[in-house]
Structure 1
Amino acid sequence: MDDNEITDWLLAGDPAIRWQVLRDLTGAPAEEVVTERARVAREGWGHRLLGLQADGQWAGGACFPGRGWRPPGPVVGDPDGQPWVATLPTLRLLRECGVDPADPSVRAAVEGVREHCRWEYAGEPFFEGEVEPCINGGTVAIGAYFGQDVEGIVTRLLGEQLEDGGWNCEAENGSTRSSFHTTICVLEGLLEYERAGGTQDVSAARRAGEEYLLSRWLFRRASTGEVVDPDWLQFSFPTQWHYDLLRGLDYFRAVGGAPDPRLARAVEQVRERRQPDGWWLQENTHPGLIHFELEDGDGAPSRWNTLRALRALRWHDADRS
C-alpha cells in the first residue's frame, strides 16, 4: 500500500482512530476533527466503554475487579493475566481514544468515579491517588485530562523522583534505580497535568525524567548499551502500564519541539518494524481480561500502532525536511 492507501485504511477504523488520523496525519480542518472526535463518546469503542460503567466504577473496582464482579458476557482476553477492566485501565483507554471530556456522558461518568470509586489499597478516593508511582502517574494523566483535581498526587510524585531522574514503584522496597515502566507513566501524567494548567511547576522534574530515557536512547542500558528488554522492540496497544519503544517515542512526539538527536536509534527501530504493506503489527499483547477486542490480535495489522508510529515518524522527520 502507498501512504494514501494506508491513510484510507486508518480512516476506515473506529472514530477513536479516525479523529486522530485527521488531526495528526491529514491536516484536516479543525471543525472536521472536532466533529469526528465528538463521535467517540457516541459510537464505537468509546461509547461501548462508557456503557460498561456501573455504580460509578468499571468492574466494581479502581485497579482490580471488585469481589463478586462477573463479565457481562463471555470472557474476553486471558483470564490468567492481569485484569484490564477496572476503572483505572478503562479511563486510561478512554483518554487514549481521545473521548471529549466535555461530552455530557463523559462528565457524568467521571463524576461517578469521583464520588464512588475508592482504591483497594486503603480506600482513598480515586483522584487522591494510590501509593505506587506508576498507578499515580496514570491517575494524574486521567485526572488532568478529565478536569479533576490531582494536585495532591502531583506533590507526591515530585517528592518520589529518584536521583537518576526517573521513578520506580520498587523505591519503597529500597530500589535506587529508576524503571522505564514507571517513568513513562509518570512523565505522561506530568505532561498532561502541565498542559491542563496545573498550579505546580513540573517542568524540571519532567525534563529530568526525559533525560533518564534519552540518556539510554529509550531502550538501552546506560552501563553497557545493550537492549534492556527485547520485548520493548515489539509494539502493543493498549500498553497498560508497560513500556515499549513506540510508547516512549510517541511521548516525545506529544512533547513536541525539535527532536533530540538521541531519538535516532529509536526512530530506526520503529522504521524497521514497518511491514512491506505499510502498516505496523499488533505485537506482545499484555495478557489479561479485557472488555472487548480492539483489533485482531498479535501478528495482525494494527491501526493503533500504525497511527502512533506514523505520527511519531512524521514529527521526527519534519525537523529534517
Structure 2
Amino acid sequence: MTATTSDNSADPQPRPSFDWITFLSRWGTLISLGLLIILFSIGRPEVFMTLRNMLNILNQVSILGMIAFGLTICLVVGLFDLSIGAMATFGGYFAARFLMELNVENGFAVVIVILVVLALAALIGMINGALIAYLGISAIVETLAMSFVATGIILGISGGRTVYATEIPEAFTIIGQGKIAGIPNPVLILLLLGFVLWVFLEHTQTGRNMYALGGNREASRLSGISFSRYALIAMAISGACAALGGLVAGANLGAGRPQGVGDVYLLNAFVAVFIGASTMKPGKFHILGTAVGVLLIGVINNGLSVMGVQTFWQYIVQGGILILALISASLNSVRRS
C-alpha cells in the first residue's frame, strides 16, 4: 500500500504588522497639522476656517517661509546659518535706505534696488561659505560672527535712524501691502520662491549633489563633488532669501528699521526646517517639509490667538511639536541603522 501525502495548504507567510513608527515619522506632522485645523475650526468656526483667515495665516508666515526656505538649502549640505536674522534686517533696511537716497518714484528703480540688495546679501553669504569651506571655520561660529558684523554695519550707517514710509516710494510698499486677485503679494512671492527652490533641489544636478554632500561629504568628495563650491552656493542662497524676507517685511511695514526685524524669525526658521525634516521624508531636509513646518507654526499662532489663548502657550505648543517631531525622526533613524 502506498501512502500519498499531499499538503497543498503550506503555512502562509506571517503578514507583517503595521509599522506605526515609520508611519508616524513620515506623516505625523501632517496629521498634527490636520488635527489642529479641525480643533481650531470647531473652537471658532466663524473666524478660523474662513478664506480671509486662511489668507491671513499665509500672509503672516510668508516672511518666515522665505527665510526658512533659504536656510533649508544650507542644512541640506550640512551647514548652519545663524546670520539669517541679521541678513533679514540688512535687506529691509538697505532697500529702504537706497530708495530714500535715490528719491525716485519709479518702479524700475525699485526693481534695480531690490536686485542690488539681494546681490549684496548673496555676496555676504558667499563670504560666509568661503570662510567655512576654505579655512575650515565652524559654520555656527562664523555665521554668528557675521551676524554681529552685519548688525554693526547697519547700525553704523543708519545711526539707529529708521527710514519712514514718507521717504520710501509707494512702488516699494506695494510689494508688502498689495494684492493680486485678492492674494497678498508676500504670499505670491513665497509660493514662487518655494517652487523655484523645490525644482532646484529636487530636479537639478546641483541639488542632487547638495543632497549627496549632506549625506556623506567624504564619499561625495571622492566622487568629485566639491564641497567648497556648493558651500558658497548654499550660503549665497541663504543670505539672499533672508534679505528677501526682510525686504518684504520692510515693504509691509512701510519702513526700513535698522534693528530687530530679522531676529524674531531666526529661531522659528530653524524650528520650521527641523519640523519639516520629519515630514514625508524623515531625516531629510526638503522644501515641501519646510513649507509644512512653516504652515504648522502659522496655524498654531493664529489658532491660539483667535481662541483667546495666552501667548506663552504658542511657544509651549511649538516646542512640544518640535520635540515630538525630532523624537519621531530619531526613532526612525535608529530603526534603519
> What TM-score, normalized by structure 1, do the two folds share?
0.23
> What TM-score, normalized by structure 2, do the two folds share?
0.22
Which is higher, the Rg of structure 1 or of structure 2? 2
**Larger helix proportion of the pair:** 2
